[in-house]
Amino acid sequence: MSRPRRVVLGTSSLAAGAMASLLCLAIALAVTNGGNWFLPMFLATLIWGAVPATVLAFCLGAPLGVLLQPVRNQWLHVAAFGGLGALLGLSLGAFTSRPWSSSDPAYLLSAALMMGGSLAIGRLAVWRLVRVDPEGRQAHLSA
């Protein structure tokens, strides 16, 4: 009886995906909120977001990647990471909104779309770094 093939992404690939996601989010925030302050907003997002992006990638992205190992369709991985980002965006948008704007659906939708799109693009950025483990073993693969 053959074991199922598993999709494996290494630690450095996870870090590269997190940085690609952070870069996309910084661009999105700078474009939508920066105006004449595009560069300061972009740099501030990169600087202040590096640690949270890394923590979220290893605390939420790694377990999601482990759950998706048996799934070989890469588009489902991209969709799952986009959905995770949308949930994060909704929760962070609800957490950071003021009491009078918490029911503003446009604010929550924009937060969900920016985070979901950023995470989906980050997962798409590491598409070529995925290795397929034909034996279904958890071999040490860091790419």
The greatest distance separating any two alpha carbons of the chain, rounded to the nearest whole angstrom, comes to 62
Which residues, at least 6 apart from 7, have a Cβ–Cβ distance to it below 8 Å?
68, 69, 70, 71, 72, 74, 77, 130, 131, 132, 133
How confident is the prediction along the chain (143 residues), in pLDDT tens digits per residue?
A: 455 566 666 778 888 899 999 999 999 988 988 778 889 989 999 999 999 998 988 899 889 988 988 888 889 999 999 999 999 988 888 887 666 555 577 888 888 999 999 999 999 998 888 776 665 555 444 44
DSSP H or E run through 39: helix 38-56
